[in-house]
Amino acid sequence: MNTRTRMLTLDDIADLRAYERDRDEYRRKVIELKRRRRVQVGSIVSLLFENRETMRSQIQEMARAERMVSDEQIQKELDIYNPLIPEPGELWATLFIELTGEDALRDWLPRLVGIEHSVVLRLAGEAPARDTGGVEEGRALEEIVRAEPEAAHEEALTRPEITASVHYVRFGLDPAQVERFAAGPVTLAVDHPEYRAECALSGEVRAELLTDLRP
């Protein structure tokens, strides 16, 4: 029995004519949504945190490009992208290695094998207070949540000698970690041996992503 609650269904995907009528306005809204959900980590890596609406947009655009008209065609896309919609306590992201030019691709993609295992969230927090001669002090602790690649896509995208320029990764947070995320600060980092970079999440991004993490 499938217990996922945020899945898209056939009824959520507009037919081609209806989508074409509303596409310009809908795309403006999705572009703004993605702006709040995209984080640049260093010079060549970015992560787009996905949700139900970004996945609906992906399927609508795929159906438009491929002229999909049957329920069977649309359902196949739903089966691919529904697993990337976060449930409470999850964040899902598409990781992009942003390279242009054949020379850059040949240089970086072999070096970045395993990058899908090298993305972390660093959550700030406070340890329980301790007594130090009558003065209670708290010691700031940092907690690491490491991303895991989506299994089906990892099998298709990962090779021992060269990586792909797109990966799909999941962060799983328990309730205490969600509250740490809400309190901030939160840093998104890549700790691959060949590429190390980090970015502090803005309040706007954290507020947006809390809509995924909380019921």
What are the average pLDDT values for consecutive 10-residue runs of the chain, which has 215 residues? 81 96 98 98 98 98 96 96 96 96 95 96 73 51 93 73 95 97 97 98 98 97
DSSP code at position 176: H
Identify the three-state secondary structure at position 97.
strand
The length of the chain is 215
Residue 213 amino acid letter: L
pLDDT at site 133: 54
CA distances for 140 relative to 33, 126, 171, 186, angstroms: 33, 5, 22, 13
pLDDT at site 193: 97
Identify the three-state secondary structure at position 130.
strand
Q: How far apart are CA 67 and CA 71, in angstroms?
A: 12
